Amino acid sequence: MTQPQHTGGRVNVLTKPAVIGSIEELRSRLTDAQSRIENARAERGEAGGTPRVVLVPTMGALHAGHLALVRRARSLGDIVVVSIFVNPLQFGVGEDLGSYPRMLEADVAALAAEGVPFVFAPTSQLMYPDGAASTRVVAGAVGSLFEGAARPGHFDGMLTVVAKLFNIVGPDVAVFGQKDAQQVFLVERMLADLNFRTRIEVVPIVREDGGLALSSRNRALEPAQRAAARALSAGLEAAASVAAQGVGAALQAAQARIDVQPLVKLDYLVVVDPRTFLPVGGEHHGPARMLVAALVGHTRLIDNVALDLS
């Protein structure tokens, strides 16, 4: 089934994305797509270098936050690849690997509506044929703070899969969400430290009405938990509004909003320097980022906001 759609003056024919589970097939489909675009451009007498590939790495159970990344990806290049892989390497013992939502069919339908041509959905066997014996990327000191302290090995696993996906897909650009601020920091540092050619683009956090940051894990929240979880974004908003008074005032304002919700068990609330991702001192001035993580029931939620401590 195809369906023409008008977007920004261009007419796209929407087809179901090709769902690809093999590295060789993905590479050959990308090469074909690039030559088709180059030939079409040549026929129209247009210039332009090699068509650009943009990757959006995800773990699926897609929501409007992921789709914002996909839309940004479409604006950045010629061919969008969305990867869907629940990466076992970034889950610790006792975490929600088994219960993490998996809904490939619904995800593919959502990506068809966005005009995405390729979905890379590998198996764990394809990604890690040697299992635990495989080579890994080490995230370094910042990788063991905050989310890394609560989830030892999480960032090594995340960087390892990102490095593999970049080598498999060879994107010019990859798109990440600001929701996972520590992930963004560590991916950017890995790209610089290991001299990757891919660059990344970061999309602002997409929130539901009431402020809760969208997350695949929100599906696990009961209505009362979801209502309580709004204290996190409310706390961050309160902090941002008093940031001019300094780090202490910002922390107090956020803490006050979160403490009144007994269903929200705070893990950390911290202000970091965006250049180092290390906690700032009380006298810090200039740009900063407040990070929060909490358990609501069994669901771990994270959020963050930029602060201007001027």
What amino acid positions are annotated as catalytic residues? 66
Q: How far is the CB of 206 from ligand AMP (least distance, A)?
A: 4
Q: Which amino acid is at 14?
A: L
x/- map, 215-234, ligand AMP, by CB under 6 A: xx------------------
Q: How far is the CB of 139 from ligand AMP (least distance, A)?
A: 16
DSSP-assigned letter for residue 214: P
Of 51 and 177, CB closest to ligand AMP: 177
Q: How far is the CB of 46 from ligand AMP (least distance, A)?
A: 32
Backbone angles phi, psi at 163, to 5 degrees: -60, -45
Decide: is 277 part of the binding site for ligand AMP (CB under 6 A).
no
Partner residues linked to 76 by β-bridges: none
Q: Which residues contact 156 (CB under 8 A, 6 or more apart)?
A: 89, 136, 137, 138, 139, 143
Q: How far from chain centre, in Å, is Cα 202?
A: 9
x/- map, 130-169, ligand AMP, by CB under 6 A: ----------------------------------------
Burial annotation 285-303 (CB, 10 A radius, 16+ → b, else e): eeebbbbbbbebbebbbbb
Q: How far is the CB of 198 from ligand AMP (least distance, A)?
A: 14
Candidate segments 3-11, 63-71, 160-168, 288-296, binder of ligand AMP by CB under 6 A: 63-71
Decide: is 66 part of the binding site for ligand AMP (CB under 6 A).
yes
Tokens of 249: 């005032």
DSSP-assigned letter for residue 17: P
Decide: is 73 part of the binding site for ligand AMP (CB under 6 A).
no
Angle formed by the axes of helices 181-193 and 154-169, to 10°?
A: 60
Binding ligand AMP (rule: CB under 6 A), the pick from 80, 205, 269, 293 is: 205
Q: How far apart are CA 164 and CA 157, in angstroms?
A: 11
Decide: is 59 part of the binding site for ligand AMP (CB under 6 A).
yes
Q: How far is the CB of 70 from ligand AMP (least distance, A)?
A: 10
Binding ligand AMP (rule: CB under 6 A), the pick from 72, 151, 179, 230 is: 179
Q: How far is the CB of 69 from ligand AMP (least distance, A)?
A: 5
Binding ligand AMP (rule: CB under 6 A), the pick from 29, 53, 55, 58 is: 58
Decide: is 261 part of the binding site for ligand AMP (CB under 6 A).
no
Binding ligand AMP (rule: CB under 6 A), the pick from 65, 115, 143, 148 is: 65
DSSP 98-158: TTS---HHHHHHHHHHTT--EEE---HHHH-TTGGGS------GGGGSTHHHHSTTHHHHH
Say what the alpha-carbon torsion angle 272, 71, 29, 108 is, to the nearest 10 degrees: 100
Q: Which residues bind ligand AMP (CB under 6 A)?
A: 58-59, 65-66, 68-69, 176-177, 179-180, 203, 205-206, 213-216
